[in-house]
Amino acid sequence: MDDRPYDLLVIGGGINGAGIARDAAGRGLSVLLVERDDLAAHTSSQSTKLIHGGLRYLEYYEFRLVAESLAEREVLLQAAPHLVEPLAFVLPHEPHLRPAWMIRAGLFLYDRLGGKMTLPKSFGVRLAGSRWGAGLKQGFRRGFVYADARVDDARLVIINAVDAQALGARVRVRTRLVRARRVEGVWRATLQTDDGKSEEVVARALVNAGGPWVKDVLNSVTTEPMQANVRHVKGSHIVVPQVHAEAHAYILQNADNRIVFVIPYEERYSLIGTTDVPVDEYQHPGIADDEIDYLLDLVNGYLERRLGRADIVWTYSGVRPLFDDGSQDPSAVTRDYVLKIDAEYGPPGRAPVLSIFGGKITTYRKLAEQALADLAPFFPGMKPAWTRGAPLPGGEMPRDRNAFFARLCAQYPGMPADLLRALARRHGNVATRLLGDAKTPADLGPNFGAQLTAREVDHFVVNEWARTADDVLWRRTKCGLSMSADERARVAEYVAVRVGAGVHQ
Ligand SMILES: Cc1cc2nc3c(=O)[nH]c(=O)nc-3n(C[C@H](O)[C@H](O)[C@H](O)COP(=O)(O)OP(=O)(O)OC[C@H]3O[C@@H](n4cnc5c(N)ncnc54)[C@H](O)[C@@H]3O)c2cc1C
């Protein structure tokens, strides 16, 4: 029984729940975050992994969203340079799909809408015979290059939760909100852990960050049927061995007006996606055969080396919980977010519930600020916004990753460069805390493969809420991609022993 009354009970440990928990804890609120699975187990680890303005949203006149996203791109590049990295995108010119003037006009806006930027401005390039056309068919002669950024989406969630906890929030995984009722001006919420135990907690306000389950969560806290609607649009990705050795990504146009990205991924792979498939209610989002065909057909129209099903090494799919703005076309439904606060009990009443519809990884920090601005009337003593300019855990390092990596190599000359690179990318400056006084790889315990050591797995279990092999292999890292089945099984055994020993939080 947790008999402490909390200010905020946040339901959902995706990027939005974790971001709100962090922001609220830093403003002095007492916060409990509950996630029924693992942190980032759903949409927030299944994205295209871009911190971007969204060039294509300009076609839908989403200027507010694009401007805010571009400005946030700049904020996140500073706050978490280990996880958010600039990336050049090449758009091969296809005059019959979009004329050059239209693309130039879009890029002109894209370069400017976010205000002052540190990333380079867009420019035109020759593709044939140049590195900008690497891996493409010879027929593509000209293109455009613009800057955006990519992110390790799952790790971004985790470091937000880590920071929330450091600021006093309590984070509980494998804990589901079953129901909540208003009793005498506060929420009494029933939680259930994955071993079947139930308990009740008290909170002054609820944040419903249930992602695709936002409606289900709201239905479990009110007796009124929910009015606002959420649209579920599935998006799938395939991962193949890298299609070219250059550092840039491609943004490829399709005749159906959609675009698909081909992004360098985890050093040796290319990530290809995504699709837009409306689904009625939330279903297990595995990739369908026709989505694979769609992605392969599209990229094979551009790539020199034909890709087939046998090239696919991994797939994943997620469901976008979009706010229903009435659009017919699933690609056109707004990617902007809408926050709804239960008005019936709004100020001067008590026990509000704030629900989140839509949004992007890119805008999570602004969304959290907006959520807390909406909740401010209920917490008059709450401190002001603070997250803009505040580094995330691991992010106190130079923005130039190479400089940081060189420093780490100098500090740990007995460690292989690949291992240090993997740690630097995942942990930023927390890597030095993790390495401590280790001098050689042997000091880090068994190496399970793909540069994953027992020391790092312990860190995930003790400090980052990992409970299963999947938590480690597919969310805290992507080592699962490069490991054999035997190696993955060894990780599973090790995690089970450590969790069994009770070292986890
Ligand atoms: C295919 C695809 C591509 C995308 N690409 C990008 C991109 O490149 N860039 C970008 O910025 N955005 C992108 N997005 C959007 C972005 O991923 C989502 O907007 C974001 O991850 C939503 O986060 P969330 O926290 O709202 O939801 P989620 O990450 O789904 O988190 C909700 C959590 O709530 C938990 N939960 C639900 N019910 C309960 C309960 N009763 N008790 C406890 N916990 C509960 C769930 O287990 C879940 O973990 C993409 C989305 C998709 C699907």
DSSP 113-128: TTSS-SSPPPEEEE-T
Please identify, by atom number, the ligand 1 atom nearest to the C-alpha of residue 16.
Answer: 25
Using DSSP's 3-state secondary structure scheme, residue 350 falls into coil
Residue closest by Cα to atom 3 of ligand 1: 47
Q: Read off the tokens for 178.
A: 């079953």
Per-residue pLDDT at 109 exceeds 80: yes
Per-residue pLDDT at 342 exceeds 70: yes
Ligand 1 midpoint to CA 479 (Å): 22
| Residue 54, ligand 1, Cβ within 6 A | no
Mutation test residue for ligand 1: of 15, 16, 43, the one with most atoms within 8 Å of CB: 43
| Residue 49, ligand 1, Cβ within 6 A | yes
Q: Give alpha helix (H) positions in 385-440.
A: 401-411, 417-427, 430-435
Task: Give the start-to-end residue ranges of the domains of the chain.
Answer: 5-43+155-229+335-378, 85-150+231-323, 401-500
Please identify, by atom number, the ligand 1 atom nearest to the C-alpha of residue 211.
Answer: 27
Per-residue pLDDT at 502: 81
Entry pTM = 0.97
| Residue 234, ligand 1, Cβ within 6 A | no
Ranking 70-84, 276-290, 306-320 by mean pLDDT, the lowest is 276-290
Model pLDDT for residues 35-73, shown as the tens digit of each residue:
999 999 999 999 999 999 989 888 888 899 999 999 999
Is 401-500 in the same CATH topology as 85-150+231-323? Answer: no
| Residue 91, ligand 1, Cβ within 6 A | no
Query: In the predicted model, what is the mean pLDDT of residues 10-17?
Result: 98
How many Cβ atoms sit within 10 Å of the Cβ of residue 424? 23
Among residues 299, 289, 220, 227, which one has the least CA distance to residue 259?
Answer: 299
Q: List the end-to-end C-alpha distance of the chain, in Å, as a whole number.
A: 17
| Residue 453, ligand 1, Cβ within 6 A | no
Per-residue pLDDT at 348: 52
At the topology level of CATH, where does 85-150+231-323 sit?
A: D-Amino Acid Oxidase; Chain A, domain 2 (3.30.9)
Instruction: Give φ, ψ of 449 to 5 degrees.
Output: 110, 160
Residue type, 306: R
Class of domain 5-43+155-229+335-378: alpha beta
| Residue 35, ligand 1, Cβ within 6 A | yes
Model pLDDT for residues 350-388, shown as the tens digit of each residue:
789 999 998 899 999 999 999 999 999 999 999 999 999
| Residue 215, ligand 1, Cβ within 6 A | no
Please identify, by atom number, the ligand 1 atom nearest to the C-alpha of residue 362.
Answer: 11
Ligand 1 midpoint to CA 7 (Å): 24
Model pLDDT for residues 177-223, shown as the tens digit of each residue:
999 998 888 999 999 999 999 999 999 999 999 999 998 998 888 76
d(CA 52, CA 360): 9
d(CA 452, CA 472): 10
CA distances from 129 to 100, 132, 138 (A): 21, 8, 8
Using DSSP's 3-state secondary structure scheme, residue 224 falls into coil
Class of domain 401-500: mainly alpha
- Crossing angle (nearest 10°) for helices 417-427 and 401-411: 130
Ligand 1 midpoint to CA 305 (Å): 34
d(CA 111, CA 133): 22
CA distances from 108 to 112, 114, 272, 308, 395 (A): 7, 11, 26, 37, 31
Please identify, by atom number, the ligand 1 atom nearest to the C-alpha of residue 237.
Answer: 1
Per-residue pLDDT at 343: 54
Mean pLDDT, the chain, integer:
93
Among residues 216, 141, 136, which one has the least CA distance to residue 176?
Answer: 216
